[in-house]
Amino acid sequence: MLERLRLGAQIEVPAGTQGIRRTMSDLSVVSGNEVALIEVESELRLIVMGGPNTIALPEGTARIIAHTHSQGSLRFSAPDIRSWLREAEESDKIRPQQAG
């Protein structure tokens, strides 16, 4: 999986896949790159890999479900939040999850 992602592959991950957050974190730690779990407009969920500080989202990205930082952290950074708030004002690709 790591080599395929490094080569630019987008790997499908069915909804409900167990351990996906741990897998994403491990991929980031080993590669030194950020990893995202996204949903595309066709409702497929995909893992994609970026670089050490960014991920270029593929065309057709409907939402970001989760992403890691290069050291494996799954927490949103302050720059992530600021960027997403700016993007959310201009796009429907970033939507907060509704509680409940």
For 33-82, write each residue's pLDDT tens digit: 999 999 998 889 999 999 998 888 888 999 888 888 877 777 777 777 77
Q: How is the chain classified by DSSP, letter by letter?
A: -HHHHHTT--EE--TT-TTHHHHHHHHHHHHSS-EEEEEETTS-EEEEE--SS---PPTTEEEEEEE--TTS--SPPHHHHHHHHHHHHH-SS--PPPP-
d(CA 9, CA 5): 5
Is the pLDDT higher at 97 or at 81? 81
Q: Is 99 inside any structural domain?
A: no
Q: Is 100 inside any structural domain?
A: no
Q: Is 64 inside any structural domain?
A: yes
Number of domain units in the chain: 1
Percent of the chain with pLDDT strictly greater than 90: 46
pLDDT at 74: 74
- Both tokens of residue 17? 């896949």
Q: Is 45 inside any structural domain?
A: yes
pLDDT at 91: 57
pLDDT at 85: 76
Q: Is 24 inside any structural domain?
A: yes
Q: Which domain holds residue 19?
A: 2-90
